[in-house]
Amino acid sequence: MKNTIILFDLDGTLIDSTEAILESFRVAYDAFGETVPPRKAITALIGKPLHGIFSDLGISQDRIAKYVQAFREHYGRISQSKTVLLPGVRTAVERAAAFAHLGIVTTKNGHFSRQLMEHFKLMEFFDVLIGEEDVRHPKPHPEPIQKALQALPAVTGRRYMVGDTCMDMAAAQASGTVGMGVLCGYSSRAVLTQCTENLFENVPDAVTQIAKG
């Protein structure tokens, strides 16, 4: 009987879609004759909802919806071909599914997220996927984790949130979930150290620790 829940972030935790994301930002900016921001400016914001990223990059509120549409139209065409699983993720997910109920909690569009997991033949291991369109308040608010937990069986064991940003860790803490920070994504060790004591190089290492109980 499974008595543990493990929730995973997506970008920078299970997958590397940096190439697809950066290309789609370039296409969106090109569509409106604007110069795309530097790579570091964009990658520093990955993990936030797309609308919020464009806002933080200086796009006015009245134009954001058009930029988001341009981004998504292109991203939808290239996401599968320009996204890879991070090293060891497939084996780690399969191992975790043997002893825990699994879910994905992401600020990414849920439709694209599900397509990617199906493309990698991993969706079957997850009982729930919460995307940006499924909540009113994205991470770091606890709502996405709370909604995922509501969709999963009740357990008396521990509940974990594995992610690569302080937004993941803040949402975990606010929802009474154990945050597990991984260094394979978009946050540095120095940054993640400020928001969690549970640091791991990658998802396989985090799952190994969780399996020990």
Enzyme catalytic residues:
9
Contact 9, 164 (CB under 8 A): yes
Q: What is the rounded distance in angstroms from the CA atom of residue 8 to the CA atom of residue 130?
A: 10
Contact 35, 29 (CB under 8 A): yes
DSSP 152: S
Q: Which residue has the tokens 């520093």?
A: 44
Tokens matching residue 47: 């993990």
Of the candidates 190, 197, 171, 173, the residue with the CA atom closest to the CA atom of residue 181: 197
